[in-house]
Structure 1
Amino acid sequence: MNPKFSICVYCGSRPGRDPRFTQLATHVGRWIGSHGGQLVYGGGNNGLMGTVADATLAAGGRVVGVIPHALVEREFAKLDCTELHKVDTMHQRKQMMAERSDIFLALPGGIGTLEELFEVWTWRQLGYHDKPIGVLNAGGYFDALLAFLAGSVDQGFMGDWQMDLVRVGSDPDALLEALVDARGTGAAGLGLDQI
């Protein structure tokens, strides 16, 4: 059965100190699986990454993991994914994740999560894709980052239109529904294969 949507989730390979982050990842995974969706993620079994994948599978969803060979042991590759792709580089990992998804969502995480979020955000502003991007700001985790970005707008390094390319919400159900409703036609402009 083909999934109704395919959502790429970026999140921490650690659980974080607040147990609510794990609860959030579980909730997101259950939502994806129970709504007939497919999770695309970095293929790890640790932290929030493993949690969202486990919850998606348990709720009947498909899980596509993409992990570089060099991280298979370090991130404990999740071997029970519906599909597990082992690639050579981080660039291949991120490109495959982007190509297999029609939505992007960031949960709490560290520099890897932020790097992936900013990359797909940059790609969207440049017209490489028209897929919706969301930031799940539950518990105010991203408040400081969002304030910094608002300062970038105030200082003239970004425009409001760039901020409008990302949907921010604290209610996981409402944000996920909005992202699924807003998903576009896929790659636009130059195309993901030309990134």
Structure 2
Amino acid sequence: MTNIKSICVYCGSSNLVSDEHLAKAHQLGRLAAENGIEIVYGGGRVGSMGRVADGALAHNGTVTGIIPEYLDKLEVAHKDVNELIVVDSMHTRKMAMFERSDAFCILPGGLGTLDEFFEIATWKQLGMHDKPLIIVNLENFWTPLLDLIRHQISAGYLRQNPADIYSVVNNIEEVFTQLKSMPESNIETDIKQL
């Protein structure tokens, strides 16, 4: 794998989603562990977030959770991860996740997942980083988002080829196939500019 030692996983924290999505989140954690890639994620123990962590931990993987203090107080933090970092805000959490990750993976999720995707994609569009960004379109979950981005292009609001910003895969195995073919980063990221 091209210099990828850690992958940030953005995903949902709801247990009310399909069993298939929860199983795929667990599979992502397992495959990351098997490939020697650390999981960096939002630190939760519920929903897909918890399943990603559990999948990696069950296969001797390394998991770093980063959670804001107020969510930790609500007792949703996963206390069994290798490292749990409690931060003061969502903004600090997102920056810490960025700093600790060599690549980003977007699983199905809600508004928080969209927020994280748009921020990291915008930073890449602006040339502030060139870390791999992979959308996992399980069961066409993200197709409406991809259609919206195509609409933005056709309306003239987005001039850059989306393929220069992110890759789209349809299953978990493809995430790791994509990572193996990614070129090494050429951008020295100055965190202050973000």
TM norm structure 2: 0.92
For 1:191, the equivalent position in structure 2 comes to: 190
Q: Deviations for 1:133-188, whole angstroms, at most 9, x for unmatched residues?
A: 000001010011111111111111112424531000102112222124316337x2
CA contact (8 A) 2:4 2:103 kept: no
CA contact (8 A) 1:128 1:192 kept: no
CA contact (8 A) 1:46 1:75 kept: no
For 1:61, the equivalent position in structure 2 comes to: 61
Q: Are 2:45 and 1:45 equivalent residues in the alignment?
A: yes
Q: In 2, distance between residues paired with 1:170 and 1:183?
A: 21
CA contact (8 A) 2:10 2:106 kept: yes
CA contact (8 A) 2:8 2:39 kept: yes
Moved more, 109-118 or 165-174: 165-174
For 2:143, the equivalent position in structure 1 comes to: 143
Q: Deviations for 1:89-138, whole angstroms, at most 9, x for unmatched residues?
A: 11110001000000000000000001001100011111211101000001
Unaligned runs of 5+ in 1: none
**SS in structure 1 opposite 2:86?**
strand
Compute the displacement of 1:189 (Å). Answer: 5.7
Q: In 1, distance between residues paired with 2:78 and 2:139?
A: 28
* Shift in CA distance, 56/183, structure 1 to aligned 2, threshold 3 Å: farther
Q: Are 2:153 and 1:128 equivalent residues in the alignment?
A: no
For 2:117, the equivalent position in structure 1 comes to: 117
Compute the displacement of 1:74 (Å). Answer: 3.0
Q: In 1, distance between residues paired with 2:108 and 2:178?
A: 19
For 2:5, the equivalent position in structure 1 comes to: 5
Task: State the percentage of identical aligned residues.
Answer: 39
**SS in structure 1 opposite 2:161?**
helix
Alignment of 1:28-107 (within 5 A): 28-74=28-74, 76-107=76-107
Q: In 2, distance between residues paired with 1:59 and 1:183?
A: 28
CA contact (8 A) 1:132 1:184 kept: no
Query: How many residues align structurally?
Result: 192
CA contact (8 A) 1:136 1:172 kept: yes
CA contact (8 A) 1:103 1:131 kept: yes
The residue identity in structure 2 corresponding to 1:8 is C
CA contact (8 A) 1:127 1:189 kept: no
* Shift in CA distance, 116/56, structure 1 to aligned 2, threshold 3 Å: same
* Shift in CA distance, 74/176, structure 1 to aligned 2, threshold 3 Å: farther
CA contact (8 A) 2:66 2:86 kept: yes
* Shift in CA distance, 120/73, structure 1 to aligned 2, threshold 3 Å: same
CA contact (8 A) 2:4 2:179 kept: no
The residue identity in structure 2 corresponding to 1:34 is E
Q: In 2, distance between residues paired with 1:44 and 1:123?
A: 25
**SS in structure 1 opposite 2:17?**
coil
CA contact (8 A) 1:135 1:168 kept: yes
